[in-house]
Copies of this chain bind each other. A is one copy, B any other.
Amino acid sequence: MELLLLSNSVLPGSGYLEFAVPVLQKQLAGRRKVLFVPFAGVTQSWDAYSDKVRAALASLNLEISGIHDVADPQAALAEAEIVMVGGGNTFNLLKECRARGLLEPIRQAVKQGALYVGWSAGSNLACPTIRTTNDMPITDPGGFDALNLFPLQINPHFTNALPQGHQGETREQRIRELLTLEPTLEVIGLPEGNWISVSNGYAQLGGTHPTLLFRADEPAITLPADHRFF
């Protein structure tokens, strides 16, 4: 399986998906036909979201179709070389994919060789469940199980910082709550600007920001750059 799971889409002072372009380029291996899944977008139209991604990735010479815009999404998935799942609201993303019967077809497309590219909510969707999303539960997705293409839980946009004086839970406290309920899980705190690339049977960390691994009853582990998860 080929997966590229990015924490997020934008870095300070940089354009939309700009840091992702060279990372994605390395994993294309000649693939050009992209099916883009825009359902995490809520406050922008899915057409506008697809156009934004086309513009951001123009230099890669891809052929990007919005899955909301094709006549037969399941047939299009079977032909896609890349399935690309954008960020936004994870609950809306999962709900729409489930309601349209697309979860299993996406899984099958990726298992049969399509490259899965996700950022933020799109990376959450590739995990066993969406229980490590940061998003607001604006809609009930009808169950939290997700694609389970990647075996660990990713927390995208990871930071343990809070706005000054804020008394809410830190991100680590939230992840510790999950690990209390499910002590066998492993959760990756993937900071903005980092990614995980799964290729040729290996899963490797990318990016220069410290990435944390959380397990129940252990202190958080700071992973080395280029860490291999498996």
A interface list, Cβ under 8 A from B: 8-12, 42-43, 88-89, 91-92, 130-140, 143-144, 157, 159, 161-169, 173-178, 180-182, 192
Residue of B nearest to A133 (CB): B137
Query: Are A167 and B144 closer than 8 Å at their CB atoms?
Result: no
Residues A137 and B138 in contact in the complex (CB < 8 Å), given A42-B177, A161-B163: no
Q: A225 to B192, alpha carbons, bound, how many Å?
A: 38
Could you jot down 26 A-B contacts, CB within 8 Å?
A9-B167, A10-B167, A11-B167, A42-B177, A42-B180, A88-B177, A89-B174, A92-B177, A92-B181, A130-B137, A132-B136, A133-B137, A135-B169, A136-B174, A136-B178, A138-B174, A138-B178, A140-B143, A157-B167, A157-B168, A159-B163, A159-B166, A161-B163, A161-B166, A162-B163, A168-B192
Chain B residues with CB under 8 Å of A135's CB are 169, 174
Query: Closest Cβ of chain B: how far from A197's Cβ, in Å?
Result: 20
| B181 adjacent to A42 (CB under 8 Å) | yes
B138 touches A136 (CB 8 A): no
Chain B: minimal CB distance from A133 (Å): 7
Chain B: minimal CB distance from A5 (Å):
16
On whether the beta carbons of B42 and A168 are closer than 8 Å, the reply is no
- Knowing that A43-B176, A88-B177 touch, tell me 16 more A-B residue pairs with CB under 8 angstroms: A12-B165, A42-B177, A42-B181, A43-B173, A43-B180, A89-B177, A92-B177, A131-B138, A137-B137, A137-B144, A138-B182, A140-B143, A140-B144, A157-B167, A159-B163, A167-B192
A89 to B182, CA, bound (A): 14
In angstroms, Cα B123 to Cα A152, docked, is 32
**Do B167 and A12 touch (CB < 8 A)?**
yes
Q: Which residues of B contact A165 (CB under 8 A)?
A: 12
